[in-house]
Structures are given as structure tokens and as C-alpha cells.
């Protein structure tokens, strides 16, 4: 490990003031410290923001404001989250392990880096880690990687389960930084790789996430489902966060679908949503919707299995939500 200095910020403004090139903010450290050990992250200054007074979950004018330093365990266990946003609690609980969730913060979870094996191996080229060096995953092991929205520069997927639920719930990410305060809508925080896969998000250097704000839950029933290689301690091969509102006449009045494990960002399934509105809430409609969305998939030779897996997961999840 390379030498670095460590300091604790006393307030969000103090964190931004102390930020300088070579600084990285430290949440629970469950991702960043691993990447430092691997030599992937090489901060010179580690600025601990995990103990800032950003650890409350509170109701503000019908919305739920979740501080960036709230631990994943506390978020999933919070009575208001469990009562109003059970899909979010479920998504968080499908991630990592109890010990990791006890440490991991909301902001750190959203900003965790890809689990692409080449990204984590500094002996290999990787456009995300070293821009312009190449993407060995395209010809190599991409079995867990993207089928939607990828580029010739990077086929990585975003790993956060929480982010997928937040994309379906249309959460807002509150940010403060050298350029002032701003709000970034979800989806919209994470970007597709294009020619600049080194940038995971739209955040600028020094930007500090201070909170995530949830609007009132949309009408309807909601569910988060995740397919993974084993029952715990495993990232999503495919996941779905879905909200379905069915009218008295049995047609779909509203729906939200976000997909995980398929792209460099949580993927809002807008085509599927458009296909569903106004149609009978039946298996045939759900299949049409899933297929409409997945027409855009461009699987690689070793991850084509994700397309039928995503189709079936969307259909099964919507069937479970339908009355």
C-alpha cells in the first residue's frame, strides 16, 4: 500500500474546503480500502466523511431524507423505509453481508466501483482504471458484464443494488462541492461508459454526496428481485426493481421498472414501461414489455444468457406484483 494521510472532516463544508487533488472521501471503506489494497485506488489524502452529522433518516414535507452517512443496515431497518419503501429495504438487504452493511454508507454504496475483474487487477490493462490502455474484458471474461448501453471502451456493470431501487423510486441525490450545492436525479447519477469509462458518475472532483431524498412512494405494489450465483455475498447477475399499479378494470395504470446487473448504470426500462401502460396486467403484456426493452440488448459471446434471464425476471416480478 502507498503512504497516505488521514483526516476527519467536521462538516460537509469542511470536507469540501479540505478537498484538493489526490483526496478521496472515505465512507465505510468497504470498497475503497479494498481498492487501495489492490493498488487500484491511490489516494494521497483520505478524508473521512463517515462521521459527519449526515446520519439521520427524517421526513421532510412528505419526502424521506436519508443522510449520506446512514449505514446500509440502519437504512434497511428504518421503520419509515420498511413501511413506505419496502423495495428499497429489500434491495439493500440483498447486498453484501450483515457485517459489510453495518459499515457501508448510503453514499459509499452508490459510488462503489465496478467489480469487473480486470479493473481490480493492476497487472492488466483497463480503460476505466487507465484510460486508453484497452478493455481486455471484451475478448476475455465478460460473463458477468453488460448487455445494455456498453461501448467499445468498456463493458462493465454497476454493482449497487440500492442504486437500482433508487432509480425506480426516482430519488434525488443531494451534492455539495467546489461548484456549490446541486441535486442530481436518479437515474442520472451514473453514466454510460461511452469513450470515457473512467467516469462512473456525473459528479465533479470534490463533490460530496450529503443526502438522498425520496419522493412519496408511487402508487402500486413494489418488489426488488435479484438473480445471483449464490444466496448471499454475491452481486446481481440481473436484478429488477419494479412498481406496478393496476386499475380496477385490470389494466396497468402506472409502472416503474429499473434493471441492475445489465449496464454501467442502473437501467430504467422506459420502453417496457411505455408498453405496459393501459394494457391488461397479464403475463402476455409483461412478456411484450420485457421483449420491447431487451430488443436493445447487445450481448457479448459469453453473457448472452443475461437477456433471457432478464426477460424472465421482469415477467415473473410483474406477475408477482399483479393482483
Ligand X SMILES: Cc1cc2nc3c(=O)[nH]c(=O)nc-3n(C[C@H](O)[C@H](O)[C@H](O)COP(=O)(O)OP(=O)(O)OC[C@H]3O[C@@H](n4cnc5c(N)ncnc54)[C@H](O)[C@@H]3O)c2cc1C
Which residues form the interface with ligand X (CB under 6 A)? 24-32, 49, 68, 95-96, 100, 103-105, 107-109, 111-112, 159-162, 208-209, 233-235
Q: Supply 145's cell numbers.
A: 458484464
Q: Are 178 and 19 in contact (CB under 8 A)?
A: yes
Q: Is residue 135 a contact point for ligand SF4 (CB under 6 A)?
A: yes
Q: Which residues in the chain belong to E strands, given as ranges? A: 5-8, 23-26, 45-48, 57-60, 63-67, 172-177, 180-185, 208-214, 221-227, 238-246, 252-260, 267-268
Name residue, grid cell 426500462: 269
25 is a contact residue toward ligand SF4 (CB under 6 A): no
Distance in Å, CB of 33 to ligand X, minimum: 6
Min dist. Cβ of residue 250 to ligand SF4 (A): 43
Nearer to ligand SF4, 125 or 283 (CB): 125
96's contact among ligand SF4, ligand X, none, with CB below 5 to 8 A by partner kind, is ligand X
Nearer to ligand X, 309 or 322 (CB): 309
Query: Does 240 contact ligand SF4 by CB under 6 A?
Result: no
Of 137-196, which residues contact ligand SF4 (CB under 6 A)?
137, 145, 154-156
Q: Is 261 in the site for ligand SF4 (CB under 6 A)?
A: no
Those residues whose C-beta lies under 8 Å from the C-beta of residue 287, and which sit 6 or more positions away, are 311, 315
Q: How far apart are CA 323 and CA 319, in angstroms?
A: 8
- Widest Cα–Cα separation across the chain: 65
Q: Which stretch binds ligand SF4 (CB under 6 A): 124-132, 167-175, 281-289, 298-306?
A: 124-132
- Given a contact cutoff of 8 angstroms between Cβ atoms, the answer to whether 219 and 245 are in contact is yes
Question: 244, 199 in Cβ contact below 8 A?
Answer: no
Q: At closest approach, how far in Å is the CB of 285 from ligand X?
A: 30
List interacting residues with ligand SF4 (CB under 6 A).
114, 116, 118-119, 126-128, 135-137, 145, 154-156, 197
Amino acid at each position: 500500500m502507498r503512504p497516505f494521510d488521514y483526516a476527519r472532516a467536521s462538516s460537509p463544508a469542511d470536507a469540501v474546503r479540505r478537498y484538493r487533488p489526490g483526496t478521496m472521501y472515505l465512507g465505510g471503506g468497504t470498497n475503497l480500502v479494498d481498492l487501495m489494497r489492490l493498488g487500484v485506488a491511490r489516494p494521497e489524502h483520505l478524508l473521512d466523511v463517515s462521521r459527519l452529522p449526515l446520519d439521520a433518516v427524517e421526513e421532510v414535507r412528505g419526502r424521506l431524507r436519508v443522510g449520506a452517512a446512514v449505514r446500509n443496515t440502519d437504512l434497511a431497518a428504518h421503520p419509515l423505509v420498511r413501511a413506505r419503501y419496502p423495495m428499497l429495504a429489500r434491495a439493500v438487504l440483498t447486498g453484501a453481508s450483515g457485517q459489510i452493511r453495518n459499515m457501508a454508507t448510503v453514499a459509499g454504496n452508490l459510488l462503489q466501483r465496478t467489480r469487473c475483474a480486470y479493473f481490480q487487477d493492476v497487472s492488466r490493462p483497463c480503460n476505466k482504471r487507465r484510460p486508453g490502455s484497452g478493455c481486455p474484458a471484451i475478448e476475455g471474461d465478460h460473463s458477468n458484464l453488460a448487455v445494455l448501453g456498453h461501448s467499445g471502451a468498456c463493458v462493465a456493470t454497476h454493482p449497487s443494488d440500492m442504486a437500482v431501487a433508487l432509480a425506480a423510486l426516482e430519488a434525488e441525490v443531494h451534492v455539495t462541492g467546489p461548484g456549490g450545492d446541486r441535486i442530481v436525479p436518479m437515474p442520472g447519477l451514473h453514466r454510460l461508459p461511452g469513450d470515457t469509462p473512467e467516469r462512473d458518475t456525473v459528479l465533479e472532483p470534490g463533490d460530496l454526496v450529503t443526502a438522498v431524498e425520496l419522493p412519496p412512494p408511487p402508487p402500486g405494489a413494489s418488489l426488488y428481485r435479484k438473480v445471483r450465483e449464490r444466496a448471499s455475498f454475491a452481486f446481481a447477475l440481473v436484478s429488477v426493481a419494479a412498481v406496478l399499479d393496476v386499475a380496477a378494470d385490470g389494466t396497468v395504470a402506472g409502472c416503474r421498472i429499473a434493471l441492475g446487473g445489465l449496464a454501467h448504470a442502473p437501467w430504467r426500462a422506459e420502453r417496457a414501461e411505455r408498453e405496459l401502460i393501459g394494457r391488461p396486467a397479464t403475463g402476455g403484456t409483461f412478456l411484450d414489455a420485457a421483449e420491447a426493452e431487451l430488443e436493445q440488448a447487445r450481448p457479448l459471446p459469453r453473457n448472452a444468457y443475461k437477456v433471457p434471464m432478464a426477460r424472465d425476471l421482469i415477467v415473473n416480478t410483474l406477475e408477482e406484483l399483479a393482483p
